[in-house]
Amino acid sequence: MTTLLIKENYVKELKNGYPLILKDAVENEDASIIEGTLVKLVDNKGQYIATGYYGVQNKGVGWVLTRNANEQIDRAFFAKRIHEAVTCRTSFFEADDTTAFRIFNGEGDGIGGLTIDFFNGFYMVSWYSEGIYTFREDVYAALMEVVNARGVYEKKRFNVNGQYVEQDDYVSGEEGEFPIIIQENGMHYAVDLNDGAMTGIFLDQRNVRKVLRDSYAAGKTVLNTFSYTGAFSVAAALGGATKTTSVDLAKRSLPKTIEQFSVNAIDYEAQDIKVMNVFDYFSYAARHQLTFDVVILDPPSFARTKKMTFSTAKDYPKLLRDALTITAPNGVIIASTNNASFNMKKFKTFIDKAFKDSNKRYKILEQHQLPEDFQVPHNYPEFNYLKVVVIQVL
């Protein structure tokens, strides 16, 4: 165990439950510490604060694992944490119209850098640093003690800049015949756990897909931008949208979106699926005087194309202004971002700015953050990265 001396102004928060070991918080930061080393955090009097592990990722240099000096970090420790997390999600395991959800959400469940998702009997483990990956054997053994898995897959998300490490993601148990079909509030989604970084569905938007289907789609035209596999388009179509339009520049989005419509018995030929840059689509739609009753904006935090870079922190107001030009009178915009670098309050200032700049008035109908299975640390809302605002144009 290596001792890390914590600077005085970080001690209180770490004692209170702040889970992250920030690079700036460490007095004797030492680049030679090996990933996965257990670290004892102490204050300048040498008093114990917490035990954690060293694992560098974009947020910090490691995570707190326990504030009890006597607790061993071993297989039993991981089993206990996973068991607690699974117990909290009993209602998800029992629901018969939802078969995909998160069972372990990193720091929210006491182990930063590790998430585990359930997909209809299969488990997908995501590792966010080489450090946490050194505990792989104990974590898998612990998971097997706690749950009954059909099969296990993993994503290593600790290449340069937290990128996914390309590999065969199969770990153990039954090999899935992908795509497998999961259910979410009665909707169906095709999921592939062994096809690169993404699975086909972002589970954190479950509640937003539900309200789109149940409250906003009936009889409406719906534009889904940055649509990926068209998960929102499926929800809108099932909610009675007259037509959906999905726009994403990735070529794979076309067959993937057709697949998602098809597993829900929706005729994809009655929907529009465009493989193109969203910003080009806005101009195209404006030129053709197309308007939409509902517009969904769910861009990546940061994207670079040949022509431009887009960053939600900088360009969200512009994205909203563009969207407003093709939103029907009294239309609804569902504005979403998963950028952890700003909070809901800041996001709402972007919304306000865009409407002021466009000389339009609006009303916020509802807002969403992470769903219940994406547990976040109490008192530290900054880990609740998802922000979704449903806006009525007046």
The correct pick among 125, 278, 323, 386 for binding ligand SAH (CB under 6 A) is: 278
| Closer Cβ to ligand SAH, 51 or 98, answer by number | 98
CB of 276 to ligand SAH, least distance (A): 7
Question: Stretches 114-122, 298-306, 316-324, 342-350: which one binds ligand SAH (CB under 6 A)?
Answer: 298-306
The correct pick among 249, 254, 263, 290 for binding ligand SAH (CB under 6 A) is: 249
CA distance 60 to 128: 11
Question: Stretches 164-172, 261-269, 272-280, 325-333: which one binds ligand SAH (CB under 6 A)?
Answer: 272-280
CB of 200 to ligand SAH, least distance (A): 8
Residues 6+ apart with CB under 8 A from 147: 82, 86, 103, 123
Which residues in the 194-213 window bind ligand SAH by CB under 6 A? 202, 205
| Closer Cβ to ligand SAH, 134 or 271, answer by number | 271
DSSP assignment of 61-108, as one string? EEEEEES-TT---SHHHHHHHHHHHHHHTHHHHH-SS--EEEEEEGGG
Please tell me whether residue 303 binds ligand SAH under the rule CB under 6 A.
Answer: yes
Please tell me whether residue 17 binds ligand SAH under the rule CB under 6 A.
Answer: no
Please tell me whether residue 248 binds ligand SAH under the rule CB under 6 A.
Answer: yes
DSSP assignment of 11-41, as one string? HHHHHHT--EE-GGGBTT--TTPPTT-EEEE
Q: Are strands 327-337 and 292-297 parallel, antiparallel or unpaired?
A: parallel
Residues 6+ apart with CB under 8 A from 79: 141, 142, 145, 146
Which residues in the 218-237 window bind ligand SAH by CB under 6 A? 226-229, 231-232
Q: What are the structure tokens assigned to 335, written together? A: 């504005």
Question: Closest Cα partner for 298 from 231, 346, 235, 211?
Answer: 231
Q: Which residues bind ligand SAH (CB under 6 A)?
A: 202, 205, 226-229, 231-232, 247-250, 253, 277-279, 298, 300, 303, 305, 310
